[in-house]
């Protein structure tokens, strides 16, 4: 499927050039409508019945399971944030002294602090794989360094499918092969990739996949998803949510306390995950993402950014080789000839919204963007030479 521009589905003003979905996605009109319906439902609580707490949640899980190629939606859990999902993972891992937790340099804080805490708890070690200093074949060399850093001391490897700040693509298939060889867990933070980049749990076989839902999945802030593999089937949740117990649908018998959880990952869902406003918005969002497909989103983003990449390289900016980056999110290391302070001022004046990450600008685009957006960006950068 070849996508055409989808800006008509959104409420983004014409004068706004939004290149920062990696920070926060805009809602499209169907998600706005679903959220309003959820608000109105709360105004009439007598219409909320027992099934309201369970059936929409099942629909959300089924949609997310389809997106990441999982057959059993009971392996999907509802979380309020990536940090909640990662804390759940860490809560179910026991380490030995001097075990190593492997991370890449400059991971997002939520995917660093939790592992630092776990390492300190068990007197284990964090092993950080640094980004190569040279720009030549940087992505290739970084991936090689990751693979070479996995050893019998490695207890788990935890990283994103791509680097959240500069978009470097990590070879998860090769990393998974190495973690299995050394009996290490693989925990993936998919917050900056799932929904915009094709991903298959069947292919990669992670032990857990954690995703914030308010970026590429277009859900409301405060929603997210997690997949848990068999390693976590009998683990301990962070809280004891009544609806995660077996037969909780029978609300007249809730005080006939049930020692068993619902199967597989259900035990890990956050309390009040049936949030009627959030759930309606999530369903509308995931239905649309599945309709677009991550493959088509990548192709669309490739098409609208191709000229930008050529022009920025002419300006002596560095952009990673195509084989080691994605098209929906990538970093541009700016030339030293560019006045950064002036650029920040000009971007604001031109109503171009983009993130600065260290010495990079992070470009994150979607189906509401056009080639014209990037012509505008290039002209803004040229004016700051």
Query: Which residue range forms the structural domain that includes residue 82?
Result: 45-291
Residue 284 and residue 334 in one domain: no
Q: Tell me: do 145 and 211 sit in the same domain.
A: yes
Asked whether residue 250 falls in the same domain as residue 267, the answer is: yes
Would 116 be classed as within a structural domain? Answer: yes
How far lies 231's CA from each of 59, 72, 183, 202, 353, in Å? 25, 15, 12, 15, 41
Q: How many domains is the chain built from?
A: 2
In a domain, 309, yes or no: yes
Query: pTM here?
Result: 0.96
The CATH number that applies at residue 247 is: 3.40.640.10
Q: Sign of dihedral through CA atoms 96, 97, 99, 100? A: positive
Per-residue pLDDT of the chain (385 residues; tens, 9 = 90+): 799 999 999 999 999 999 999 999 999 999 999 999 999 998 999 988 888 889 999 999 999 999 999 999 999 999 999 999 999 999 999 999 999 999 999 999 999 999 999 999 999 999 999 999 988 899 999 999 999 999 999 999 999 999 999 999 999 999 999 999 999 999 999 999 999 999 999 999 999 999 999 999 999 999 999 999 999 999 999 999 999 999 999 988 889 999 999 999 999 999 999 999 999 999 999 999 999 999 999 999 999 999 999 999 999 999 999 999 999 999 999 999 999 999 999 999 999 999 997 678 999 999 999 999 999 999 999 999 8
pLDDT tens string 256-315: 999 999 999 999 999 999 999 999 999 999 999 999 999 999 999 999 999 999 999 999
Measured between alpha carbons, how far apart are the two ends of the chain, in Å?
40
pLDDT at 251: 87
215 and 90 share a domain?
A: yes
CATH assignment at residue 303: 3.90.1150.10
Same domain, 228 and 362: no
Question: Which residue among 225, 259, 291 closes a domain?
Answer: 291
Where a domain ends, among 243, 272, 291?
291
310 and 282 within one domain: no
How far apart (Å, rounded) are the C-alpha atoms in residues 47 and 70?
33
- Number of residues assigned to the chain: 385
Q: Is residue 32 part of a domain?
A: no
Whether 262 and 376 map to the same domain: the answer is no
The residues with which 211 forms a beta bridge, in sequence order, are: 225
* Contact status, residue 241 vs residue 273, Cβ threshold 8 Å: yes
Whether 81 is covered by a domain: the verdict is: yes
Q: Is residue 40 part of a domain?
A: no
One domain for residues 219 and 195: yes
- Residues 246, 109: Cα–Cα separation, whole Å: 35
The rounded distance, in Å, linking the Cα atoms of 256 and 38 is 31
The answer to whether residue 33 is domain-embedded is: no
Give the closest residue to 269 by CA, choosing from 102, 138, 76.
Answer: 76
Do 86 and 209 belong together in one domain?
yes
Q: Let me know if residue 329 belongs to a domain.
A: yes
Which residues are CB-contacts of 238 (< 8 A; sequence separation ≥ 6)? 84, 87, 88, 91, 268
- Tell me the residue ranges of DSSP E strands in the chain: 17-18, 76-79, 100-104, 125-129, 154-160, 185-189, 208-212, 224-228, 329-333, 352-353, 355-357, 360-364
Whether residues 343 and 376 fall in one domain: yes
349 falls within a domain: yes
Query: Are 248 and 321 found together in one domain?
Result: no
Tell me, rounded to whole angstroms, the distance of Cα 55 from its chain centroid: 25
**Last residue in a domain, options 291, 323, 350:** 291
Q: Does 109 share its domain with 76? A: yes
């Amino acid at each position: 499927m070849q996508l055409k521009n989808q800006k008509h589905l959104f409420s983004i003003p014409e004068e706004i050039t939004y290149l920062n979905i990696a920070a926060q996605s805009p809602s499209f009109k169907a998600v706005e409508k679903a959220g309003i319906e959820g608000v109105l439902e709360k105004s009439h609580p007598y219409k909320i019945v027992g099934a309201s707490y369970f059936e929409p949640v099942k629909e959300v899980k089924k949609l997310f399971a389809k997106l990441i190629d999982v057959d059993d939606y009971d392996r999907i859990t509802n979380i309020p944030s990536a940090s909640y999902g990662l804390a759940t993972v860490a809560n179910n891992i026991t380490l030995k002294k001097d075990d190593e937790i492997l991370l890449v340099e400059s991971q997002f804080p939520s995917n660093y602090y939790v592992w630092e805490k776990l390492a300190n708890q068990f007197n284990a070690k964090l092993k950080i794989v640094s980004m190569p200093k040279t720009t030549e074949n940087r992505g290739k060399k970084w991936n090689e360094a990751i693979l070479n850093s996995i050893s019998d001391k490695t207890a788990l490897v935890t990283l994103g499918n791509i680097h959240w700040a500069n978009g470097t693509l990590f070879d998860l298939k090769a990393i998974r092969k190495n973690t299995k060889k050394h009996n290490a867990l693989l925990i993936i933070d998919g917050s900056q990739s799932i929904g915009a980049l094709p991903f298959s749990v069947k292919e990669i076989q992670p032990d857990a996949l954690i995703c914030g839902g308010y970026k590429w999945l277009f859900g409301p802030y405060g929603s997210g998803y997690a997949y848990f593999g068999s390693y976590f089937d009998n683990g301990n949740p962070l809280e004891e949510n009544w609806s995660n117990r077996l037969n909780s649908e029978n609300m007249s018998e809730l005080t006939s306390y049930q020692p068993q959880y619902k199967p597989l990952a259900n035990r890990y869902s956050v309390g009040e995950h049936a949030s009627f406003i959030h759930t309606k918005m999530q369903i509308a969002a995931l239905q649309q993402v599945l309709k677009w497909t991550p493959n088509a989103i990548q192709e669309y983003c490739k098409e609208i950014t191709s000229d930008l990449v050529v022009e920025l390289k002419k300006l002596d900016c560095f952009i990673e080789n195509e084989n080691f980056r994605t098209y929906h999110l990538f970093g541009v290391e700016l030339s030293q000839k560019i006045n950064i302070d002036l650029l920040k001022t000009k971007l604001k004046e031109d109503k171009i919204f983009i993130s600065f990450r260290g010495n990079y600008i992070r470009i994150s685009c979607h189906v509401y963007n056009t080639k014209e957006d990037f012509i505008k960006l290039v002209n803004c950068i040229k004016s700051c030479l």
